[in-house]
Structure 1
């Protein structure tokens, strides 16, 4: 169970009554969807950021942009349980936006401001760019 997302965080994205109706007051379902969303995000963010530190943060120490994306992914999965045929376009759009953002972060096109970076050596290993050259030669006498 993750403590990165709290029940109070959902109020900015979905009304409490709707969330309770969708989950049938089963908090285990919410926890499962939260864990899946965070596991998915770890795969995208792990190349550049210290995901253990990022997702173990609590309260005001959490990165708000990462939190918003995690909630959007979680809510999408929760709503898919209820009735995927009647999923609102807003939920689909927010989920797709979150995945698109994660892909850009993983592709080193977007940075997450304030997120804890991996140590420099590990970032070099994970980077999609690698620059090397042959040893310098002396060609003049």
Structure 2
């Protein structure tokens, strides 16, 4: 898993997590997994033709399989914000919910900007042009329809 429980401690106190989850570590594991999947959804393009217009396409598997110091610190921080939001979604014990929600919204907007090419991270692995070419999708197509005949 990309995130660990110790990563979550950089954004929320341990006593708060324990109070919210009532000591159930599976709740934290679910929140971390949900955060990773949400992060993956923003970093991965879908099959819409407009996503093949020359923007960087990140190697999401390489990004999320990195461990320890090899992980991108900014991506980890954004993933932690998402995980924190999923944990505190359960309860509002001694946490300023509005602040957490605002940070979550900012994180989502930043991830959308990253996906759309408004911002780029030079330290994230990208897919090679060969891997993109293997997809056989072209950003533009030209040509005309076949001539219509009444037969």
Give the alignment's TM-score, normalised by structure 2: 0.75
Q: How does 1:1-141 map to 2 (within 5 A)?
A: 2=1, 4-47=2-45, 48-83=57-92, 88-123=97-132, 130-131=139-140
Q: Distance in 1 between matches of 2:132 and 2:42?
A: 14
Q: Structure 1 segments of 4 or more deviating over 2 A?
A: 121-125, 129-134
Query: Which deviations, in whole Å up to 9, do the C-alpha atoms of 1:36-79 show, x marking residues without a partner?
Result: 11111111112321111111111100111110111101100110
User: Does the 8 A contact of 1:80 with 1:87 survive in 2?
Assistant: no
Residue matched to 1:138: none
Structure with more contact order per residue of length (Cα contacts < 8 Å, sep ≥ 6): 2
Q: Which residue of 2 aligns with 1:139?
A: none
Say if 1:11 and 1:83 are closer, same or farther in 2 by CA, change over 3 A: closer
Alpha-carbon distance in 1 for matches of 2:11, 2:71 = 17
Unaligned runs of 5+ in 2: 46-56, 144-151
Change in 2 beyond 3 A, CA 1:88/1:57: same
Structure 1: 5+ residue stretches without partners? 135-141
Aligned-pair distance for 1:113? 3.1
Distance 1:5 1:83 in 2: 23
